[in-house]
Amino acid sequence: MREFIFLIPVSLCLGLIGLAAFMWALRKEQYNDLDGAAHRILDDDDDRPISTVIDDSGSGNGG
Amino acid sequence: MASKVLDKHHREIVFSVPDIKCGGCINRIEKRIGALDNVTKVRVNLTSKQVTVKWNSQQDPPAVSHCLRSLGYISQISVDPLDTDRDQVIPYLIRALAVAAFASGNIMLLSVSVWSGAEQQTKHLFHVLSALIALPAVAYSGQVFFHSAWRSLRHRSTNMDVPISIGILLTLGLSCYDTFVRQSTDAVYFEAPVMLVFFLLIGRTLDHLMRKKASTAVSGLAKLQPSGAWISRVGNGVEYRTLSEIVPGDKLKIAAGEYVAVDCLVDSGSSDVDCSLVTGESVPRNVHVGDKLLAGSRNLTAGLYAIATADVKDSYLSQMMSIIQNIENTRSKGRRLADKVSVWYAPVVHLAAVLSFIAWYYLTDDLHHSVTIAIAVLIITCPCALGLAVPMVQVVIARRLFEAGILVKDGAALERLVQIDTVVFDKTGTLTTGKPQLVNAEAIEPVAFEMAVAMARVSQHPYSQAILTAFQDRAGTVFPEEPETAIELAGYGLQLMVAGCRYRLGRPVWAVEPFSESLQQNESSNHANISSTVEAQTALSESVLTCNGEVIAEFLFEDSLRDEAVSTINSLRAQGLHIHCLSGDSASAVKSCATELAIDQFNAELLPDEKVAYVDTLARSGHKTMMIGDGLNDAPALAAAHVSMAPGSASEVGRNSADLVFTRNNLQAVLQAITLAHIANRSIKQNLCIALAYNALALPLAIGGWVTPLVAALAMSASSIVVMANALRLNAWGCLTSHSKLSGLNNSVVTPKVGQYA
């Protein structure tokens, strides 16, 4: 019986933390663009080979 | 501009950019716009295909639209006031679902130890804990059902949420009473109401997500319509204003290729206007100074200045909207299947509960025990599986339709689709391609054809485009050089001077005018005398190519049928459906189309409300009608029909009032939708049977007093899982059949006709 006094609040708190984390993610619009995130992960920013900088817009400022 | 003020220093604006497709687009757009002056933040949303730009409002707004155009993306300012309501429902549902999941998970864990035989004291402690979790969770997550039930009761009707709410509240009440007042542990069911809320919220959330996805996809198609117009200012120059900012009296500048934003009168210039999406006329209309332009029509040949005669709220488009509103307010399209079931389901269940209470009280004289039994009856018959039976199937089927390029905006439309016995088609843009095609290409001499093509290249007129398309279809032909001197005379045709010869391609009356040098000076005044109603009363329209007034070739155009129209109509007829055709186009054009498709019942030159009247007449004579149309003039009829469908190329209002929208340019979608609706219907009925059979089995247990909290929880989960599994079965099994069915179809996606805005 004594263990419950620790264990139940601990487990409930863990659950509540998970719930709060989910709510936070929801409020911070983490789920608004699931498709975009899948593509963004592939983007290496400016990590391109120096010799073959591909200018993707046709103007001088490629990056 | 339609921007939102964030704080003192920042404003935000959202652009809709339908062509964003991949990570490359995100990267490119964010880098280029981020590099503009004043931009503090730019974020691309790939899911909704929108770009949000935040900028420093104390300085000039950045030229985002221009920048996007230089990258090759067509953009428009996203103004979607209707969307905000819906956007708040889904986050609430997801939050409610998360809370219910947390609560039901934890209460379940506590309950398992109670069921597996804890000591009396432990049981009581766990029940108190469960109550502390369950009460706030149900108060938060259950609101969806309580609100809906309350609304329904206030209107003196009943829906599925009424028995659900009564069940949840009574169960919680009894459990709290037993735990806190009687300090007993025998009739405590905290897990049941929380689990019920959780399972039902799954169904509810899926249903909303499905609709949201479809409406996002539908609004993604809105790129065809202007979100504003260029207004020429009193001094000089032009400025872009969004639709809501245009007031009567504003002078609109409408370039060739652009759509007309609001109703207006032509102030200067003359041009040809494509009204096919507005009135259903397949032949472009010639407009001059003083003529009226309807919002939604497309300017084809020359730039126009026009004075706005109405703001957005009063234009033709909005008149259609108010007719639609009126239709939607005054008639119901039949109740949803689940609500129909609940009409007799709720009384039966509540009667059973009352009867078992009376019987037990009469037999045992134990008030508490009798109440416990009555509530057990309510718990065990709570329509958890019923609440899942319909949305689960509809979500699965909607996904399948989505993959086939058909968007379902409301699950209820699938229920109505299986009831139809009549299909009413619009002609222009639905049965036909909406674009004229050259029908006598074979008969034209190659030299003359090449000359015509050379001239047609400078023009956006549908006939010119048809000549180009026909020319491209000829194998091994090389495009002649584009002549520099070809000029387009709005309403008449094209003129080209080569080595002293005057070539004209266009209206016969104009093209055969005798040629002399002096006439050229006052060309335009001559044209005004020519009647613009020369267009023959036949289905075919004609242009001629002349050299110095002598005809060298004739071009015949027809708004030709879609390739698959005949086969689709025949298949529909084979299913025993009656086919009708309604059109705003001329009688002869409709007749020739109807004859080709062997449609007996057709009507031409109909106004929008006449189409509605026709659909109503069909409804009154007991027919369930499916309306398929694309124009603004079809929109009221789409709203009035029992169920409706529009192609993705339809006018915005048309798409919005249709229940289903097909984005692939293929009429076969109608067949597919009907087939899948039948599959969905069968599956829904199976699910309802499973749910009802389970209730029928469980009811005697409850009345007999054998339902313990454990039995209630098990029975509820089991029935829900069976119903879900049955719905998901459609996914696995359906893939095979859908592939074989779809493989024969042309999967080309509608290529949007995009005007040059911005």
If one counts every other C-beta atom within 10 angstroms of the C-beta of residue B296, the result is: 28
Report pLDDT for B755: 35
Min Cα–Cα distance to chain B from A40, Å: 6
Contacts of A4 in chain B (CB under 8 A): 122, 125
Alpha-carbon gap, residue A23 to B101, rounded angstroms: 13
Domain stop point among B31, B48, B78: B78
B102 to A43: CB separation less than 8 angstroms, yes or no = no
Q: Do A15 and B102 count as a contact with CB atoms less than 8 A apart?
A: yes
Taking only Cα atoms into account, the Rg of chain A, rounded to an integer number of angstroms, comes to 23
For residue B87, the model assigns a pLDDT of 66
B452 falls within a domain: yes
A12: which chain B residues are within 8 Å (Cβ-Cβ)? Answer: 106, 129, 133
Over the stretch B134-192, which tens digit does the pLDDT of each residue have? 999 999 999 989 998 898 888 877 777 888 888 889 889 988 988 888 887 777 888 88
Contacting A with CB below 8 Å, chain B residues are 22-24, 26-28, 31-32, 35, 44-48, 70-71, 91, 94-95, 98-99, 102, 105-106, 109, 121-122, 125, 129, 133
Which of the residue ranges B62-66, B87-91, B622-626, B633-637 has the most confident prediction, judged by mean pLDDT? B622-626
pLDDT at residue B591 greater than cutoff 50: yes
3-state secondary structure of B745: coil
At residue B300, what are phi and psi to the nearest 5 degrees? Answer: -105, -55
DSSP B57-119: TTSPPP-HHHHHHHTT---EE---TTHHHHHHHHHHHHHHHHHHHHHHHHHHHHHHHHHTT--
Of A27-36, B93-102, B204-213, B371-380, give the range with the top mean pLDDT.
B93-102
Task: Say yes or no to pLDDT of B349 above 60.
Answer: yes
Of B47, B78, B109, which one is at a domain's C-terminal end?
B78
Q: Which residues of B touch A22 (CB under 8 A)?
A: 98
pLDDT at B101: 94
d(CA B35, CA B40): 9
Instruction: Identify the domain boundary among B58, B78, B98.
Output: B78
Tokens at B692, concatenated: 């009802």
CB B15 within 8 A of CB B77: yes
Residue B40 lies in a domain: yes
Contacts A–B by Cβ distance under 8 A: 60
Tell me which residue in A8, A19, A39 faces B23 most closely, judged by beta carbons.
A39
Given a contact cutoff of 8 angstroms between Cβ atoms, the answer to whether B471 and B477 are in contact is yes
Supply B430's token pair. Answer: 């639905």
Phi then psi dihedrals of residue B186, to 5 deg: -85, -35
Q: What is the largest CA-CA distance in chain B?
A: 114
* Beta pairing partners, B305: B253, B268
CB–CB contact B26 A32 (8 Å): no
The whole-angstrom distance between residue B48's C-alpha and the CA centroid of its chain comes to 15
A chain contacts of residue B121, beta-carbon cutoff 8 Å: 1
Q: Give the H/E segment covering residue B559.
A: strand B550-561
Q: How far apart are alpha carbons B659 and B644 in whole angstroms? A: 5
Q: What is the ipTM of this complex?
A: 0.71
**Residues of chain B found within 8 Å of residue A33, distances taken between Cβ atoms:** 45-48
Mutate to test the interface with B, among A7, A8, A31 (most CBs of B within 10 A): A8
Long-range contacts at B564-567 (CB < 8 A, ≥ 24 apart): B564/B666, B564/B667, B564/B668, B564/B746, B565/B431, B565/B432, B565/B597, B565/B667, B566/B596, B566/B597, B567/B668
Portion 8-37 of A in contact with B at CB < 8 A: 8, 11-12, 15-16, 18-19, 22-23, 26, 31-36
Would you tell me how many other CB atoms lie within 10 Å of the CB of residue B573?
A: 15
Angle CA B5–B10–B13, to nearest 5: 60
CA pair distance B209, A7, nearest whole angstrom: 37
Does some domain include residue B342? no
Is the separation of the CB atoms in B55 and A43 below 8 Å? no
The answer to the question of residue B517 being in a domain is yes
Residue with tokens 């029928």: B696
Contact A57 B70 (CB under 8 A): yes
Residue with tokens 């050299």: B547
Q: Indicate the residue of B31, B44, B95 with minimum beta-carbon distance to A23.
A: B95
Statement: residue B477 has pLDDT above 70? no
* Residue of B294, B233, B218, B224 whose CA lies nearest to B260: B294
What would the mean pLDDT of B16-21 be, rounded to a whole number? 79
The answer to whether the CB atoms of A35 and B47 lie below 8 A apart is yes
In chain B, the residue whose alpha carbon lies closest to the alpha carbon of A23 is B95
pLDDT at residue B140, as a whole number: 94
Alpha helices per DSSP H over B496-542 = 508-511, 523-529
Choose among B258, B289, B290, B251: nearest CA to B273: B258
**CB–CB contact B28 A39 (8 Å):** no
First to last CA, chain B: 12
Q: What is the CATH number of the domain that holds B24?
A: 3.30.70.100
CATH of the domain at B471: 3.40.1110.10
B28, B99, B121 ranked by CB distance to A19: nearest: B99
Residue B16 lies in a domain: yes
* Phi and psi angles of residue B482, each rounded to the nearest 5 degrees, phi first: -75, 120
The answer to whether B686 and B722 are in contact (CB under 8 A) is: no
Please indicate, yes or no, if residue B493 is contained in any of the structural domains: yes
In chain B, residues with a C-beta closer than 8 Å to the C-beta of A34 are 47
Q: What is the pLDDT of residues B420-441, one digit of tens each?
A: 899 999 888 888 887 778 877 7
**Burial readout B232-257 (b: 16 or more C-beta within 10 A, e: otherwise):** eeeeeeeeebbbebbeeebbbebebb
Q: For residue B732, how many C-alpha atoms fall within 13 Å in the half-sphere facing its CB?
A: 5
8-state DSSP, A45: T
Cite the active site residues of B: 426
Contact of A53 with chain B, judged by CB distance below 8 Å, is answered with no
- How far apart CA B532 and CA B534 sit, in angstroms, is 6
Q: Would residue B636 count as lying in a domain?
A: no
Give the domain extent around B55: 1-78
Nearest residue on chain B to A38, alpha-carbon basis: B23
Structure-token pair, residue B553? 């070739």
Strands B541-547 and B501-506: antiparallel
The predicted pLDDT at position B366 comes to: 86
Judge: A36–B35 Cβ closer than 8 Å, yes or no.
Answer: no
Q: Angle at the Cα of B731 (from B726 to B733), degrees rounded to 5?
A: 85
**Cβ-defined contact of A1 to B122 (cutoff 8 Å):** yes
Total domain count, chain B: 2
Share above pLDDT 70 across residues of chain B, in percent, rounded to a whole number: 85
Structural domain contains residue B289: no
Q: pLDDT category, B734, cuts 50, 70, 90?
A: low
User: CB distance A26–B95 less than 8 Å?
Assistant: yes
| Mutation to test the A interface, candidates B30, B32, B47, B112, most A Cβ within 10 Å | B47
Report the amino acid identity of residue B651: S
